[in-house]
Structure 1
Amino acid sequence: MKKILFYCQYLAGMGHLVRSTEIIRSLVPSFQVCLVIGGEPIDQFEVPDGVEVVYLPALREEAGELIALNQSVESVKIARRQRLLGLFEQFQPDCVITECFPFSKYKMAFELLPLLERAKAAQVKVVCSLRDLIMTQSMSEKGLARKQARILDQIQQFYDLVLCHCDRNLQSLDACFPSAHALTCEVFYTGYVAQSLATSFVQQQALKSPRIVASVGGGRYGYSLLKAIGEVGPLLHHAIPHQIYAFAGPFMSESEFHSLKTLTSSQSNITLQRFTPNLMDYLYGADLSISLGGYNTTMNVLSSQVRSLILPSPSPNQADEQWLRASRLAQLGAVEVLSPDQLSPSALAHAILQHLHTAKPSHAINLKGSENTAKRLRQLCDQTVALAR
C-alpha cells in the first residue's frame, strides 16, 4: 500500500483541518496515511480510523505574527523542523501533500522548504491541496508580482500536481491567481470537498421542528452572529415552535462563550454547545442553517441542501474570500446572504421567518472533491510505479 504524508497547518480557524480529514477519509481505503497537524489540538475532533496522526508543537497566528504556546517561536520552529524531517525519514512516503502551501501559509516555509527539498531528493511525488479561493492581503503591484513569481518558482522546483478543490464551472484558479497559466504542473479540479454524514443519532431523536442550526466554524470571529441569535431567540419563541442548535466553535474565547451561555441559558428554544464533530447530522435534519461563510460550512450546506442564511466572516483576512464565495452561490439560488445590518433582533427574525417558508434549494454543483482527489492520487502513484519499472 502506497504511503501519503499529509501536512495540514491551520493558523486561525479549523477549516483547513476539516477539509483535509475529509479528503483523507477517501484516501484510507487505498493508502497508508500519516496526517501531520501543526495547529492547536481540538477536543472531540475525529480523525478517520486507520490514520497515523502526528502533532507538531502548535503554532497559531495573531495580528499577522506566529504565536507559540508557552515557548519561544524560534525554539518551536527548530523543534518542528527536526520533527518533520525525522518523520519523513521514518515514514518514507511515496507522496507528500502540502495543504495550501506554496499559494498561502508562507510563514511555514521554514519547515516546508526543507521537507520539499528532502522529498525532491528522494524522488517522492509532491502535491498541493488547494481550496477554491486563495486568501489575498492588500499589497502593491510589485509585491503581488513577487509573490506570484515565488509561487511559480516553488511549484516548478518541487510540485507534480495541484489539486483545486472546487467546481471549475463556478471557480477557476486563474480568477484569484492570474499567473495560473504559467504553472509547470497539472492543475486538476476535483470538485468541492463536502463532509460525509457521520452518524444518524441526531436524526433519530424526536427534535422540535423547525430545527435551526447556527454555527460559526472555529469560532474566533463568530461571536457577533451567535450573539444576534441569542437576542432573536425571544422573538422567535413567540412566533413559531422551533429549536435552535448553536455551536460556538473550539477557538471562541472563554469570555465570549460565557457571555453567550449567560444570554441563552434561560431560553428553552436555544441549545448552545461549544463544538460537535457531527455537524452534518444536524444539518441533514435541519430546516434552516445560519452560519458564517467558510469553505467547509458552505459545502456542508450545499451537500445537505438545507435552506441557509450566510453571513460572510467579519475577519479582515476572510471577508473577501467568504463574500466572493457566498455571493456567487447566492446568484445560483443555492444560499441566501446576510448582511451585518440584518443582525438586529427584528431584522434577523424577519429574515429567518421569511426564509423558512422558501423552497429548499437545489443545484448541480460538483461536491465529489474527496472521491475525485483519491482517484487522481491513485493514478499519480500508479504512474510512479510504472515509471519505476
Structure 2
Amino acid sequence: MKKLMFYCQHILGMGHLVRSMEIVRGLTKDFHICFINGGEVIPEFQVPSGVEVVNLPAIKTDPEFKELQVVDHAFTLTEVQEIRKNLLLSILDKFQPDILMIELFPFGRRRFSFELIPMLEKVQASQSSTKVVCSLRDIVVTKQNQARHEEKVCKLINQYFDLLLVHSDPKFVSLEETFSRIQDFNCQVYYTGYVVQKTSENPVFSDEDKEIIESEQPLILVSVGGGRFGHELLDCVVKTAPLLEKIIPHNIQVFTGPFIPDEKFQELQTLKENSNNLRIRRYTPYFLNYMQKADLSISMSGYNTTLNILTTGVRAMILPFTGNNDQEQTIRSQKLNVLGITKTIYPQDLQPDIFAWRIISYLEKQINKIKFDFNGVENTAKFLKDFVYKEKIA
C-alpha cells in the first residue's frame, strides 16, 4: 500500500481534527497512514484502526487568536516549537510518504511555518516522489490586508503543493467567495464535496448515552464544539431550561466540549441544579446519534456541526462564532438561514425569556431540506488514489 502522512493542527476548537480524521477514515483501505496531531489530545476521540497517530507536544491559542500557547507548561513555546520541528523532520525521514497531506496551510496556520516550511523544504530537497496535497474546508478566513494574504498563499501553493482539495460543494459555497486568486495556482484544484461524519455501525453506548438516545422523550441537543468559546450560548440555555420545563416535554442535553475550562463547567453544573430537564456533559463519541434523535439542535455554525445538521435533517438554531472578526461561521449561517434550512441566533436573542420563545416557536415550524454533495470522503479517496498512481486525476 502507498503511504500517506496527514498533518492536522487544531488550535481553538476541534473541527479541523474531526474533519481530518473523517477523511483519514475513508483512506484506510488504500493507504498506510501516519496521522500527525498538533493540537490538544481528546482522550475519548475515536481513531480508525490501523492508523498510526503521532501527538506532537500540543499548541493551542486564546479565543481571539492573538497568541500561541503551550498545553504542557513544563516547556516554553520556543522549546516546543523546536521539538516539534525536529520530530516532524524525523517522522518524514522514517515514514517516507508517497503523499504528504497538510490541512488548511497555507490558507491558514501560517504561524506554524516554523515547522511546516522545513518539512516542505525537505520534501523538495530530497527530490523524492512525495506528492504534497492541501486539504481545505469550504470557507477560509479573510484578512484585513486580503491582497497581501492572497499573494502569500499563491506563492506558497505554487512553490510547494501539487494538489488542492476543497471539501465543499461549489453550488453552495465556492472557494472564490473568500479567496479570489484560484486561477493563479499552478497546482490542480478539485472540489470533493462535503466531508460528513457517519454513525458507528455497532455503537457501544454507555448507560448514560443509551438512556437518552433510546428514550421516547423528545430531545433538544445543545453543543459548542470544542468548548473554548460559545459560553454565552451555554449560559443562556441553562438559564432558559427552567422556563422550558413548564411548557414543553423535552429533555435538554448539553455537550460543552472537551476543552471547556473546569471552572466554567462547574459553574454550569451549579446553575442547572434545579432543572430536571437538563443534563450537561463535556463530550461523547456518539454525538451524531444524539443529533439523529434530536427534535432541535442548538449550536455554533462550524463546518462539522453544520454538516451533521444537514445530513440528519434535524431542525437547527445556530449561533456564528465571530471572534477575531472571523466571518466563516457568519457566512455559512446566513446562507442556510436564507435557504430556510436553519435559524440564525443573534446576540440579542440570548436572553432566557426571548430565547425560550424562539425555541418554542421554531419547534412548530417546517424547515427546508436541500441536498448538497456529501461525498467528500469518498471523492477525496478517489482523487488521492488517482493522483498517486497516475500522477494526474482522471
> TM-score scaled by structure 2?
0.93
Matched-pair contact (CA < 8 Å) for 1:306–1:361: no
What residue is the counterpart of 1:259 in the other structure?
267
What residue is the counterpart of 1:46 in the other structure?
46
Could you say what the CA RMSD is over the residues aligned between the two structures, in angstroms? 1.7
Superposition map of 1:346-357 within 5 A: 346-357=353-364
Shift of 1:385: 10
Amino acid at match of 1:125: K
Alignment pair present for 1:161 and 2:163: yes
Matched-pair contact (CA < 8 Å) for 1:60–1:67: yes
125-134 or 329-338, which deviates more:
329-338
What residue is the counterpart of 2:346 in the other structure?
339
Unaligned ranges ≥5, structure 2: none
CA deviation string 1:23-61 (max 9, x = no partner): 111111111111000011112111111100001111112
Q: What CA distance in whole angstroms lies between the structure 2 residues aligned with 1:285 and 1:355?
A: 17
What residue is the counterpart of 2:379 in the other structure?
372
What residue is the counterpart of 2:84 in the other structure?
80
CA deviation string 1:325-361 (max 9, x = no partner): 0111122222111111111111111111111122354
Structure-2 change in CA distance of 1:296 and 1:178 (3 Å): same
Greater than 3 Å deviation, 4+ residue runs: 199-206
Q: What CA distance in whole angstroms lies between the structure 1 residues aligned with 2:251 and 2:216?
A: 6
Shift of 1:208: 4.5
CA deviation string 1:301-345 (max 9, x = no partner): 111110000011142354x11010011112222211111111111
Matched-pair contact (CA < 8 Å) for 1:221–1:314: no
Alignment pair present for 1:92 and 2:96: yes
Shift of 1:263: 1.0
What residue is the counterpart of 1:9 in the other structure?
9
SS at match of 1:188: strand
What residue is the counterpart of 1:130 in the other structure?
136
Aligned length: 381
Amino acid at match of 1:336: K
Q: What CA distance in whole angstroms lies between the structure 1 residues aligned with 2:122 and 2:339?
A: 45
Shift of 1:193: 1.1
Which of residues 358, 366, 371 is equivalent to 1:359? 366
Alignment pair present for 1:25 and 2:25: yes
Which of residues 182, 185, 202 is equivalent to 1:183? 185
Which of residues 377, 382, 385 is equivalent to 2:389? 382
Amino acid at match of 1:84: L
Shift of 1:16: 0.4
Matched-pair contact (CA < 8 Å) for 1:96–1:124: yes
Matched-pair contact (CA < 8 Å) for 2:340–2:367: no
Q: What CA distance in whole angstroms lies between the structure 2 residues aligned with 1:216 and 1:49?
A: 28
Which of residues 151, 154, 167 is equivalent to 2:153? 151
Shift of 1:146: 2.6
Amino acid at match of 2:370: H
Matched-pair contact (CA < 8 Å) for 1:216–1:291: yes
Q: What CA distance in whole angstroms lies between the structure 2 residues aligned with 1:155 and 1:122?
A: 18
Superposition map of 1:268-347 within 5 A: 268-318=276-326, 320-347=327-354
Superposition map of 1:194-205 within 5 A: 194-198=196-200, 201=205, 205=213
Matched-pair contact (CA < 8 Å) for 1:192–1:366: yes
Shift of 1:149: 1.7
Q: What CA distance in whole angstroms lies between the structure 2 residues aligned with 1:174 and 1:136?
A: 11
Q: What CA distance in whole angstroms lies between the structure 2 residues aligned with 1:112 and 1:17?
A: 17
Q: What CA distance in whole angstroms lies between the structure 2 residues aligned with 1:331 and 1:218?
A: 27
The percent of aligned pairs where both chains have the same amino acid is: 41
Q: What CA distance in whole angstroms lies between the structure 2 residues aligned with 1:95 and 1:240?
A: 53
Q: What CA distance in whole angstroms lies between the structure 1 residues aligned with 2:119 and 2:244?
A: 54
Amino acid at match of 1:346: D
Alignment pair present for 1:117 and 2:121: yes
Shift of 1:279: 0.7
Matched-pair contact (CA < 8 Å) for 1:135–1:317: no
Unaligned ranges ≥5, structure 1: none
Matched-pair contact (CA < 8 Å) for 1:208–1:242: no
SS at match of 2:337: helix
CA deviation string 1:55-83 (max 9, x = no partner): 11111123522112211111111110110
Matched-pair contact (CA < 8 Å) for 1:161–1:185: yes
> TM-score scaled by structure 1?
0.94
Matched-pair contact (CA < 8 Å) for 1:194–1:370: yes
Matched-pair contact (CA < 8 Å) for 2:138–2:174: yes
CA deviation string 1:127-150 (max 9, x = no partner): 0000011112323xxxx3332222
What residue is the counterpart of 1:108 in the other structure?
112
Matched-pair contact (CA < 8 Å) for 2:199–2:289: yes
